[in-house]
Amino acid sequence: MKTKQRENSSNLVKVAVDIGSTIIKIAQLDHNDAQLSQQFFTRDFDLGVAPQVKSLLEGVGADEILMCSSANGGLRAGIISLTEHYSGIVVQNQALNAGANPLFVKRLSDEQGDMRFVDVLIVCGGIDCSDAPLFESMIENLTLVNFKFGSLIYAGNSYFADSFRQRFPEAVVIANPLGGTLTNGSNSVFEALRNAYLEDLVYKEGISELNQQLSMKIRPTPEVVSSGFHRILSNRSNIKVTGASLLFDVGGATTDIHYTVEIVRDDSLVRPGAASSIARYVFTDLGIVASRDSTLQQMRSHPLSYEFLNLVLTHDVRETYQLLREGEYVPSPEVLSYACLFLSLDRFSHGKGSGLPVADLNKVSQIILTGGATQNLSEAIVANILRMFFSDVGVDPAILIDKKYQVWIDGITWFSDVVN
């Protein structure tokens, strides 16, 4: 599949590549990071990803190649923390921003565990200090027998790192993100998971050869989207936003939301980690391909599913509703995308999801939809869906459907350390 040809090779400076599960997207950029062209290629699983990407980039005279990938759907992470509202939420937020999918946050005192397999299990808690008898005893009694994981990371109170490693020699110790004062800690979990993601990708996808040729690391696509969102919010993008914003990235397996934290309600018990103006949450059961069935299942049982269909369909609403209820409805990808948007807004406005805060959607002044599944959506229908979650008093948020994948371009060409 090839949608657009290169337009002006003389201005070409950078090439951005996104390796997806089924599609490889390539964008050619000039010296201002403006897009000269975009191309989409179906993944060739017989050839393998590294040879295919090398072949696609052959003869392209770019100074720089930037690459990201969502091919593995993100690392699955599990978190065991001293508290949910301090260490748990800080680590979860860094994991999400690094593009990982936290499946659970358990307390150190939790004896039941979680037997779902995670690629990385992170143990954390406390600030760095020697006088922490509660944490010390919990670490001493921790067994991890009720957890299934690939790698183990210790990101807790650094004074107890050695004793943790004595009990779990395979553990990798990283800096405590809470530091010594609960604030201004390091981005250690973010960095560790970003690197782990790359290693996982290299191992599973066989792109180590490709990675060696790149001047920069391959980045996880959700982290790139998060960077793009951050750049937009910092007034450093051609996309202009007017205030509190919410970005949806609807995909085949998951629906990601990235949001400015000021939309979290003051009375929300769950809050994103401190010292970050944006946060991410991933709905692992909402998507239009791999998660199609679970999305449909939820639409079927949702009390407002008729009202939803009334907004997105132009005719046969009653008949479609009946088919949906009976499990016989075969929706188009667009309807499924609208359903992902509807369900994620519904959950976000009620905080229905592990680690998901309650949002005050009335504070949102801008909605951005990005990703392949949103390309054919109608802004008018999106606006109608949004109105289901907004009160009468307030401003209708501006809606932007990112049809040129500008958020991705903004993210892959921007490095937050330039600013920070």
Footprint of another protein (CB under 8 A): 181, 183-184, 233-236, 240, 242-244, 260-262, 266, 271, 274-278, 363, 365, 391, 393-396, 398, 417-420
- Of 47 and 395, the one with the shorter C-beta distance to another protein is 395
Smallest gap from residue 347 Cβ to another protein (A): 22
Closer to another protein by CB, 116 or 350: give it: 350
Q: How far is the CB of 35 from another protein (least distance, A)?
A: 21
**How many CB atoms are closer than 10 A to CB 412?**
27
Q: What's the closest the beta carbon of residue 218 comes to another protein, in angstroms?
A: 24
Residue number, 15 or 247, with CB nearest to another protein: 247
Contact predicate 329/320, CB 8 Å: yes
Shortest CB 227 distance to another protein, Å: 14
* Residue 252, token pair as written in the block: 């085949």
Cα(321)–Cα(315) distance, integer angstroms: 11
Indicate the residue among 5 and 420 with the shorter CB distance to another protein: 420
Question: What radius of gyration do the chain's Cα atoms show?
Answer: 22
Q: How far is the CB of 9 from another protein (least distance, A)?
A: 29
Closest separation between CB of residue 382 and another protein, Å? 17
Specify the residue, 65 or 124, whose C-beta has the smaller distance to another protein: 124
HEC per residue, the chain: CCCCCCCCHHHCCEEEEEECCCEEEEEEECCCCCEEEEEEEECCCCCCHHHHHHHHHCCCCCCEEEEEECCCCCCEEEEEECCHHHHHHHHHHHHHHCCCEEEEEEECCCCCCEEEEEEEEEECCCCCCCCCHHHHHHHHHCCCCCEEEEEEEECCCHHHHHHHHHHCCCCEECCCCCCCCCCCCCCHHHHHHHHHHHHHHHHHHCCHHHHHHCCCCCEEHHHHHHHHHHHHHCCCCCCCCCCCEEEEEECCCCEEEEEEHHHECCCCCCCCCCCCCEEEEEECCCCCCCCHHHHHHHHHHCCCHHHHHHHHCCCCHHHHHHHHHCCCCCCCHHHHHHHHHHHHHHHHHHCCCCCCCCECHHHCCEEEEECHHHCCCCHHHHHHHHHCCCCCCCCCCEEEECCCCHHHHHHHCCCHHHCC
Q: Which of residues 208 and 416 has its CB atom nearest to another protein in the complex? A: 416
b/e per residue, 323-341, with b = 16+ CB within 10 A? ebeeeebebebbbbbbbbb
User: In the complex with another protein, which residue's Cβ is closer, 42 or 183?
Assistant: 183
Phi, psi of 126 (to 5 degrees): 75, 160
Rounded least distance, CB 394 to another protein, Å = 7
For another protein, the closer CB: 69 or 406: 406
Shortest Cβ 207–another protein spacing (Å): 31
229's CB contacts (< 8 A; 6+ apart) are: 245, 247, 258, 278, 368, 407, 411
Least gap, CB of 335 to another protein (angstroms): 29
Q: Which is nearer to another protein, 48 or 179 (CB)?
A: 179
Compare residues 22 and 277 and give the one whose CB is closer to another protein: 277
Give least dist CB 217 to another protein, A: 20
Amino acid at 259: Y
Least Å distance between CB 137 and another protein? 27
Nearer to another protein, 131 or 266 (CB): 266
